[in-house]
Amino acid sequence: MKAVIRSTTILTVRHRGQVVLAGDGQVTLGETVVKAGARKVRRMHGDKVLAGFAGASADAMTLFDRLEGKLDQYKGNLTRAAVELAKDWRTDKILRRLEALLLAVDRDHTLIISGTGDVIEPDRGVAAIGSGGQYALAAARALMEHADMEAERIVRTAMAITADICIYTNDQIVVEVL
């Protein structure tokens, strides 16, 4: 998988029958914050799929559009759409230069999709990408194990913890629930 992208935090938690995806709103250029309220998560395919990105915004928009097209082509089959997107992303001369990671979820699957051809379904119902991804992942796992919380509260709390630690993550969180 590509090196950690320093741009955001996207977190998903699958817990107690709920699937939640969240992303912070900070956009940076180098060491400067240029926007605080960007929306890095999107509902797709009739609100049956949620996706978030970490990386260059224009690249992510291209990948969101491609994923949406693949979802339409494969009738909402997220796994098949993700594999086909990853194949295109890796082999297409223009797409393979895109610098981003995608995290996509539906009712049954959680997938991390990269430009190196990776389509990874993480264990434990929790996954995160971006510069704050490891902080958010650790916080969410701990909260899932040791706190009596619903998925949405776990995500909000883990993202708040991450915003306190990661300089590329802020506390303007967009949360989507399936």
62-94, pLDDT tens digit by residue? 889 999 999 999 999 999 999 999 998 888 777
pLDDT of residue 34 exceeding 90, the answer is no
pTM over the 0.85 mark? yes
Q: What is the CATH number of domain 9-177?
A: 3.60.20.10
At 166, the pLDDT band (50, 70, 90 cuts) reads very high
Q: What is the pLDDT of residue 2?
A: 44
8 belongs to the catalytic site: yes
* Per-domain residue ranges of the chain: 9-177
Of all residues in the chain, what percent carry a pLDDT higher than 90? 67
CA distance 43 to 111: 15
